Structure 1
Amino acid sequence: MKHLFRLFIVLLCVGTFSACKKDNDKPKSKTDLLTAKNWRLSAAVGTLTSGSTSYSQDFFADMEPCQKDDFEKYSTDKTVTYDQGPTKCDDTASDPQMQKASWNFEADETKLTVSEIGGGDSYTVDLAELNSTTMVQKYSEKDVDPDTGKDVTVTYTFTYTAF
């Protein structure tokens, strides 16, 4: 019986130590994180700041359900596909289910630029956060309030959830 107990302990130790592996996986690149999954908008907030006064509005709360199920798929070939999801808001032939654009990182992968294919409109956002579950994009505009003459900044924050 002692021999069986010792054999059990030896096998347990061998199994325990051989099951352990070093956790030296390299962190994923931003391209890997961006292209690994689909991204769905989960929050959209606009904040207007003038001097020490701020006002925020939750744009996501005002969106229609058919807009909230839309998603984006970034691919390693530098294209992004915008998909209207299972529920389209306008179910006509002139409103395609999917549209493509191109994307690129700028400024040491801290900015994301998306451009219409064929040289149309483009926009650049700051990547405030990008990990395996969440992407936060920020975009700011500066302007002058025509009523007060004061400088105002409008910052849009878009939070996406991976799925």
Structure 2
Amino acid sequence: MKTLLNTPLLAALLLAGTFAGCEKAGPEVAPAPSRTDLLTEKDWKLAAETVSPAFPTEEGELITDVFAYMPECDRDDLMHFDRAKTCALREGASQCASGPQQFAGTWAFEADDTILRTNLQTLGASSFNVLRLSETTLQLKGIRTIDGVDYTYVYTYAKQ
């Protein structure tokens, strides 16, 4: 009787088992950027601002598109966040005639990076729900109570 060690079938099986455990190393996948990585080191420019329910203007018109009613010199302002947890709101290219050219402050993420808190000089402290944060877009939601009415604002920024 022939032993199994002498059969070509066993040799083929052993050889196949040797190579089955080897895989080609694929390209290393970089870890996804953190929310802090996405937020910091670049400027953000406001691209849209809406409010719900509609907010009355001084003329009595009800508006939901706040951005359309903003002065041009406020539409191009830039918000900057850095890793040291400081931030600044700076005038853009079309500067408003009066007022400071920059508001300095601090920022922090809370609740697993789903809430962004800011505290800017003279503008005060604010808290925003982070609706979207990507390589190109920052979308925040905040609530302001004015004359007993809760207004929900959604701010959409584009990375510059």
The number of residues matched between the two structures is 129
RMSD between aligned alpha carbons?
2.6
Question: Is residue 140 from structure 1 mapped to residue 143 from structure 2 by the alignment?
Answer: yes
Q: Which runs of 4+ in 1 moved over 3 A?
A: 141-145
Q: 2:91 aligns with which of 76, 84, 91?
A: 84
Instruction: Identify if the C-alpha distance between structure 1 residues 47 and 69 changes in structure 2 by more than 3 Å, giving closer, same or farther.
Output: same
Question: Is residue 102 from structure 1 mapped to residue 98 from structure 2 by the alignment?
Answer: no
CA distance in 2, matches of 1:156, 1:87: 24
Give the share of equivalent positions with the same residue, in percent: 30
Q: 1:22 aligns with which of 6, 23, 27?
A: 27
Gaps of 5+ in 2: 1-25, 55-61
Alignment of 1:1-163 (within 5 A): 22=27, 24-48=29-53, 57-91=64-98, 95-116=99-120, 121-141=124-144, 153-163=150-160
Instruction: Identify if the C-alpha distance between structure 1 residues 120 and 138 changes in structure 2 by more than 3 Å, giving closer, same or farther.
Output: closer
The normalised TM-score by structure 1 is 0.70
Higher RCO structure, 1 or 2 (CA under 8 Å, sep 6+): 1
Instruction: Identify if the C-alpha distance between structure 1 residues 96 and 136 changes in structure 2 by more than 3 Å, giving closer, same or farther.
Output: same
Instruction: Identify if the C-alpha distance between structure 1 residues 144 and 116 changes in structure 2 by more than 3 Å, giving closer, same or farther.
Output: closer
Larger radius of gyration: 2
Equivalent residue letter for 1:26:
P
The normalised TM-score by structure 2 is 0.71
Gaps of 5+ in 1: 1-20, 50-54, 146-151
Deviates more, 1:82-91 or 1:134-143: 134-143
